[in-house]
Amino acid sequence: METLNKSVDESLGKLQNQIDGTKKEMKTLYNDIIKDKNDIKTDIENIFKSVESLKNVQTQFEENINEIKKDWTRDVEMVQSVMETQNKSVDESLGKLQHQIDGTKEHVENNMTEIMEKVKEVAVQMKTLESGMTKTNARVEGVDSQLHVFYKELKDNSK
Protein backbone atom coordinates (compact mmCIF):
# COMPACT_ATOMS: atom_id res chain seq x y z
CA MET A 1 0.00 0.00 0.00
CA GLU A 2 2.90 2.35 0.76
CA THR A 3 4.35 1.65 -2.67
CA LEU A 4 0.98 2.41 -4.25
CA ASN A 5 0.65 5.62 -2.21
CA LYS A 6 4.16 6.61 -3.16
CA SER A 7 3.44 5.88 -6.81
CA VAL A 8 0.23 7.89 -6.69
CA ASP A 9 2.05 10.77 -4.96
CA GLU A 10 4.77 10.68 -7.62
CA SER A 11 2.19 10.62 -10.38
CA LEU A 12 0.32 13.45 -8.76
CA GLY A 13 3.56 15.39 -8.38
CA LYS A 14 4.35 14.87 -12.06
CA LEU A 15 0.81 15.86 -12.96
CA GLN A 16 1.11 19.00 -10.82
CA ASN A 17 4.42 19.84 -12.54
CA GLN A 18 2.71 19.43 -15.89
CA ILE A 19 -0.14 21.63 -14.73
CA ASP A 20 2.33 24.25 -13.50
CA GLY A 21 4.23 24.07 -16.77
CA THR A 22 1.02 24.42 -18.76
CA LYS A 23 -0.01 27.36 -16.59
CA LYS A 24 3.31 29.07 -17.29
CA GLU A 25 2.94 28.42 -21.01
CA MET A 26 -0.62 29.78 -20.98
CA LYS A 27 0.54 32.83 -19.03
CA THR A 28 3.31 33.40 -21.59
CA LEU A 29 0.85 32.95 -24.45
CA TYR A 30 -1.61 35.28 -22.76
CA ASN A 31 1.11 37.93 -22.29
CA ASP A 32 2.15 37.51 -25.94
CA ILE A 33 -1.46 37.93 -27.05
CA ILE A 34 -1.86 41.02 -24.87
CA LYS A 35 1.34 42.42 -26.40
CA ASP A 36 0.07 41.58 -29.90
CA LYS A 37 -3.25 43.19 -29.04
CA ASN A 38 -1.45 46.32 -27.86
CA ASP A 39 0.69 46.31 -31.01
CA ILE A 40 -2.44 46.03 -33.15
CA LYS A 41 -4.05 48.82 -31.15
CA THR A 42 -0.97 50.98 -31.75
CA ASP A 43 -1.08 50.10 -35.45
CA ILE A 44 -4.74 51.09 -35.61
CA GLU A 45 -4.02 54.34 -33.81
CA ASN A 46 -1.24 55.01 -36.31
CA ILE A 47 -3.63 54.23 -39.16
CA PHE A 48 -6.14 56.69 -37.71
CA LYS A 49 -3.37 59.29 -37.46
CA SER A 50 -2.41 58.57 -41.07
CA VAL A 51 -6.04 58.90 -42.13
CA GLU A 52 -6.27 62.18 -40.24
CA SER A 53 -3.09 63.32 -41.95
CA LEU A 54 -4.55 62.32 -45.31
CA LYS A 55 -7.66 64.32 -44.51
CA ASN A 56 -5.49 67.33 -43.71
CA VAL A 57 -3.61 66.85 -46.97
CA GLN A 58 -6.91 66.55 -48.81
CA THR A 59 -8.21 69.73 -47.14
CA GLN A 60 -5.02 71.58 -48.06
CA PHE A 61 -5.25 70.19 -51.57
CA GLU A 62 -8.85 71.37 -51.88
CA GLU A 63 -7.85 74.81 -50.59
CA ASN A 64 -5.07 74.94 -53.15
CA ILE A 65 -7.52 73.87 -55.82
CA ASN A 66 -9.88 76.64 -54.72
CA GLU A 67 -7.03 79.14 -54.95
CA ILE A 68 -6.19 77.82 -58.40
CA LYS A 69 -9.85 78.20 -59.37
CA LYS A 70 -9.86 81.78 -58.09
CA ASP A 71 -6.64 82.53 -60.00
CA TRP A 72 -8.05 80.97 -63.12
CA THR A 73 -11.27 82.93 -62.82
CA ARG A 74 -9.35 86.19 -62.44
CA ASP A 75 -7.15 85.32 -65.41
CA VAL A 76 -10.15 84.38 -67.51
CA GLU A 77 -11.87 87.67 -66.76
CA MET A 78 -8.73 89.58 -67.69
CA VAL A 79 -8.33 87.57 -70.89
CA GLN A 80 -12.01 88.09 -71.76
CA SER A 81 -11.64 91.83 -71.39
CA VAL A 82 -8.51 91.87 -73.56
CA MET A 83 -9.33 89.21 -76.13
CA GLU A 84 -12.82 87.81 -76.55
CA THR A 85 -11.51 85.46 -79.21
CA GLN A 86 -9.46 83.43 -76.72
CA ASN A 87 -12.56 82.60 -74.70
CA LYS A 88 -12.90 79.17 -76.23
CA SER A 89 -9.29 78.22 -75.46
CA VAL A 90 -9.53 79.35 -71.84
CA ASP A 91 -12.77 77.40 -71.32
CA GLU A 92 -11.11 74.26 -72.66
CA SER A 93 -8.20 74.72 -70.25
CA LEU A 94 -10.57 75.14 -67.32
CA GLY A 95 -12.43 72.00 -68.32
CA LYS A 96 -9.22 69.99 -68.37
CA LEU A 97 -8.14 71.38 -65.01
CA GLN A 98 -11.53 70.59 -63.46
CA HIS A 99 -11.32 67.07 -64.85
CA GLN A 100 -7.88 66.65 -63.25
CA ILE A 101 -9.15 68.08 -59.96
CA ASP A 102 -12.16 65.76 -59.97
CA GLY A 103 -9.97 62.76 -60.84
CA THR A 104 -7.51 63.53 -58.05
CA LYS A 105 -10.27 64.17 -55.52
CA GLU A 106 -12.00 60.90 -56.44
CA HIS A 107 -8.68 59.04 -56.13
CA VAL A 108 -8.06 60.46 -52.63
CA GLU A 109 -11.62 59.63 -51.54
CA ASN A 110 -11.31 56.05 -52.84
CA ASN A 111 -8.03 55.58 -50.95
CA MET A 112 -9.58 56.90 -47.75
CA THR A 113 -12.56 54.56 -48.16
CA GLU A 114 -10.24 51.58 -48.58
CA ILE A 115 -8.22 52.58 -45.52
CA MET A 116 -11.35 52.92 -43.39
CA GLU A 117 -12.58 49.49 -44.54
CA LYS A 118 -9.26 47.94 -43.55
CA VAL A 119 -9.37 49.68 -40.17
CA LYS A 120 -12.86 48.24 -39.60
CA GLU A 121 -11.62 44.75 -40.56
CA VAL A 122 -8.71 44.99 -38.09
CA ALA A 123 -11.08 46.16 -35.35
CA VAL A 124 -13.35 43.14 -35.95
CA GLN A 125 -10.33 40.81 -35.88
CA MET A 126 -9.18 42.33 -32.59
CA LYS A 127 -12.61 41.77 -31.03
CA THR A 128 -12.62 38.15 -32.23
CA LEU A 129 -9.11 37.59 -30.86
CA GLU A 130 -10.03 39.11 -27.51
CA SER A 131 -13.20 36.99 -27.29
CA GLY A 132 -11.23 33.83 -28.08
CA MET A 133 -8.65 34.62 -25.42
CA THR A 134 -11.35 35.24 -22.83
CA LYS A 135 -12.96 31.89 -23.60
CA THR A 136 -9.58 30.10 -23.58
CA ASN A 137 -8.65 31.63 -20.23
CA ALA A 138 -12.01 30.57 -18.77
CA ARG A 139 -11.47 27.00 -20.00
CA VAL A 140 -7.93 26.89 -18.62
CA GLU A 141 -9.13 28.13 -15.25
CA GLY A 142 -11.92 25.50 -15.28
CA VAL A 143 -9.52 22.67 -16.10
CA ASP A 144 -7.05 23.94 -13.52
CA SER A 145 -9.67 23.96 -10.76
CA GLN A 146 -10.88 20.49 -11.80
CA LEU A 147 -7.33 19.17 -11.65
CA HIS A 148 -6.86 20.69 -8.19
CA VAL A 149 -10.06 18.99 -7.00
CA PHE A 150 -8.95 15.71 -8.59
CA TYR A 151 -5.50 16.03 -7.02
CA LYS A 152 -7.03 16.75 -3.60
CA GLU A 153 -9.39 13.76 -3.92
CA LEU A 154 -6.55 11.48 -4.98
CA LYS A 155 -4.43 12.71 -2.11
CA ASP A 156 -7.31 12.26 0.34
CA ASN A 157 -8.10 8.79 -1.03
CA SER A 158 -4.48 7.73 -0.82
CA LYS A 159 -4.37 8.25 2.94
pLDDT number for residue 87: 59
Q: Which position has the higher pLDDT, 154 or 32?
A: 32
Q: 120: domain CATH number?
A: 1.10.287
When divided into structural domains, the chain yields a total of 1
Mean pLDDT computed over every residue of the chain: 85
Euclidean distance between CA atoms 37 and 29, whole angstroms: 12
CB 55 within 8 A of CB 112: yes
pLDDT band per the 50, 70, 90 thresholds, residue 85: low
Identify the band that residue 111 occupies on the pLDDT scale cut at 50, 70 and 90.
confident
Q: 126 vs 1, 5, 123, 141, CA distance in Å?
A: 54, 49, 5, 22
pLDDT of 16-75, one tens digit each?
A: 999 999 899 999 999 998 999 999 899 889 989 988 998 988 999 999 989 989 998 898
CA dihedral in degrees (52, 58, 61, 67; nearest 10)? Answer: -100
d(CA 116, CA 108): 12
For 9, the domain range is 2-157
Taking the C-alpha atoms of residue 94 and residue 100, their distance in angstroms, rounded to an integer, is 10
| Cα–Cα distance for residue pair 129/117, rounded to 1 Å | 18
